Amino acid sequence: MSTEQEIDKTGVIFQPKSKKKLILICCRAKLWKGEKCKCKKIKTIQKYIRKWQENKNNLEPISYRGDKININDINVFAYKNRSKNDSYNKKRENIIACIINNIISEQYYKLSPRWYNLKNEIRIFIKELCKKKGICIDNIECIPKAGRCHHYDFKIIINNSEEIILEFKCNASCVNDTPQFVSPMKPSQYLESSYEKYYYNNYFSHLVYEYNLPLPTEEEYLKYIHSTNPTCLKNHQEKYYRGCKKSSKYSGEENDIKFYESSKKTSRDSIMNFISKYDIDKDKLTKYLLDTQKNKFYMLYKDGKLYLETINLNDYIITEITKDPEKNRYIAKTKSDRNLNILLRWKNGNGIAFPSFQIS
């Protein structure tokens, strides 16, 4: 009991002339408002919470595509960590596929409102998708197709015959909200000249000599540069991440930090100068966009809701291109009068590995 009240010798609570307000310490019940001790109710609630937690902890994880999914993994839909985005996306895609393929235990939905909500959102999404396609569902299968060799995340097969391709984007309610909708590899095939050769001959060779690193032959460099971890640049990539403060491999050594900063500057300067000199082949890039975007539907997730978006192919027919070298990008205008930002960048270390376009 708080000192806001007094008790007489018989143990009877009384209200002093100062009219202090009595609050029980055990459960914070406000006796001055006529409330009674809540301890019994609280213990009952705590009992059910413990039981609920035990049931959650006893659930068997679900094995799927080499992944282990447990009930707490539903929280991955709320995570926003760019450094772990690839692993988070894989987990999200596996969860969606498991729900569609009816692999998830019913206990997940009973014990977690988030699991139940996502299942319901997927049910509504599939219903709307089938309505747009003019088909009724007897059975459905979801096949994950994510990866750099594919241009979509899921193949949905309905009634063993109707195939629908889906691209999944998290933390967006429309495609325009996403940082990119497509990322073409080997960007030089859509450029007037090879950026990789330009960088190797005019920038990279000087950079590696300055830091006493081995210089692979041009042939070897061009062969492996489009992988995430080029074998011929293993030492360069390790040194780059040792100099990056956000990397788990950060060493704090001055020479590593200088190499990291030099690589970033060299990359930025090379892209700016390259864009100033060379144009994009708009017909080739248009063909790529149409081939990868036609017949595609977008599944967009934001704040617990799923959104369906379809494609207007005129958004991907490029009519003209302007340059914005200061921002390392080209700007394409499309047939629908939409602007596409085409950023030239490196995906696995500036000037180190995997040059590509990022189109948004």
Same domain, 122 and 19: no
pLDDT digits (tens, 9 = 90+) for 264-303: 999 999 999 999 999 999 999 999 999 888 888 999 999 9
Say if 315 falls within a structural domain: no
* Residue 93 counted as domain residue: yes
Tell whether 250 is covered by a domain. yes
131 in a structural domain: yes
Shared domain check, 51 and 63 = no
User: Is there a single domain that holds both residue 338 and residue 352?
Assistant: yes
pLDDT at 200: 95
In terms of domains, do 330 and 246 share one?
A: yes
Q: What's the structural domain count of the chain?
A: 3
Same domain, 42 and 19: yes
The pLDDT of residue 48 is 57
Identify whether residues 277 and 328 lie together within a single domain. yes
Q: Which of 56, 76, 94 corresponds to the end of one domain?
A: 56
Residue 212 and residue 120 in one domain: no
Q: Assess whether 81 and 203 both reside in one domain.
A: no
* Neighbour count for residue 63 (Cβ, 10 Å): 11
Least confident of 122-131, 162-171, 174-183, 234-243: 174-183
pLDDT of residue 100: 95
Taking a C-beta distance cutoff of 8 angstroms, is the pair 297, 164 a contact?
yes
Return the pLDDT at 183.
83
Domain of 255, in residue numbers: 181-281+324-360
CA–CA separation, 341 vs 277, rounded Å?
Answer: 18
Reply yes or no on whether the pLDDT at 229 is more than 70: yes
Among 124-138, 178-192, 208-222, the range scoring the smallest mean pLDDT is: 178-192
Residues 291 and 273 sit within 8 Å (Cβ to Cβ): no
Same domain, residue pair 98 and 244: no
Average model confidence (pLDDT) for the chain?
A: 86
Work out whether strand 318-324 and strand 305-309 pair parallel, antiparallel, or are unpaired: unpaired
* Residues 64, 51 share a domain: no
User: What pLDDT does 53 receive?
Assistant: 66
In a domain? residue 304? no
Q: At what angle do helices 234-242 and 254-277 cross, to 10 degrees?
A: 110
Verify that 106 and 146 share a domain, yes or no.
yes
In a domain, 302, yes or no: no
Among residues of the chain, what percentage have pLDDT more than 70? 86
Say if residue 352 is in the same domain as residue 214: yes
Instruction: Give the domain-ending residue among 170, 189, 205.
Output: 170
Residue 305 forms part of a structural domain: no
pLDDT at 24: 72
Q: How confident is the model at residue 1 (pLDDT cuts 50, 70, 90)?
A: very low
pLDDT (tens digit per residue) in 260-269? 999 999 999 9
Residue 299 lies in a domain: no
pLDDT tops 80 at residue 180: no
User: Which of 109, 137, 170 is the last residue before a domain boundary?
Assistant: 170
Helical axes 113-133 vs 85-100, angle rounded to 10°:
70
Identify whether the C-beta of residue 13 lies closer than 8 Å to the C-beta of residue 7: yes
Tens-place pLDDT, residues 323-347: 999 999 999 999 999 899 999 999 8
The predicted structure's pLDDT at residue 148: 59
What is the reported pLDDT for 7?
45
**pLDDT for residue 22:** 78
